[in-house]
Amino acid sequence: MAEFIFAWPWLFLLLPLPWFAWRFLPKAESQLSGSVRVPFYHWLGDGTESSGSSGWLSRLLAIIVWLLVLTAAARPQWVDEPLTFPLSGRDLLMAMDVSGSMDTRDMQLNGHMVSRLTMVKEVMSAFIKRRQGDRVGLVLFGSRAYLQTPLTFDTQTTARLMQESEIGLAGRETAIGDAIGLSIKRLRDNTEAERILILLTDGANTAGTVNPLQAAEYAAKEGLTIYAIGVGADEMLVRDLFGTRVVNPATDLDEKTMQAIAVKTGGRYFRARDTGDLEKIYQIIDELEPVSSDVVVIRPITEWFWLPMMLALIICLLSALMNLLKQAGWLYRDIKTEGSG
- Distance (Å, whole) CA 216 – CA 203: 17
pLDDT of residue 40: 45
> Same domain, yes or no, for 45 and 105?
no
Closest CA to 195 of 89, 91, 288: 91
The count of domains in the chain is 2
With cut-offs at 50, 70 and 90, classify the pLDDT of residue 49: very low
pLDDT digits (tens, 9 = 90+) for 295-312: 667 778 899 999 999 999
Q: Does 275 reside within a domain?
A: yes
Q: Does 34 reside within a domain?
A: no
Q: Does 251 reside within a domain?
A: yes
> Same domain, yes or no, for 267 and 138?
yes
Q: Which domain holds residue 183?
A: 84-295
> Same domain, yes or no, for 241 and 124?
yes
> Same domain, yes or no, for 218 and 314?
no
With cut-offs at 50, 70 and 90, classify the pLDDT of residue 47: very low
Domain boundary among 295, 310, 331: 295
User: CA neighbours within 13 Å on the CB side: how many for 84?
Assistant: 5
- Report whether pLDDT(1) > 80: no
Please compute the mean of the pLDDT values over residues 270-280 and round it to a whole number.
Answer: 90
pLDDT of residue 139: 95
* Residue 255 vs residue 36, higher pLDDT: 255
Q: What is the pTM of this model?
A: 0.62
> Same domain, yes or no, for 62 and 159?
no
> Same domain, yes or no, for 116 and 250?
yes
> Same domain, yes or no, for 277 and 303?
no
Write the CB contacts of 292 (distance below 8 Å, at least 6 apart in sequence). Answer: 88
- Report whether pLDDT(51) > 80: no
Percentage above 70 pLDDT, the chain: 79
pLDDT of residue 43: 44
pLDDT of residue 310: 94
**What are the CA-CA distances from residue 120 to residues 1, 37, 49, 117 (Å)?**
43, 85, 81, 5
pLDDT of residue 56: 79
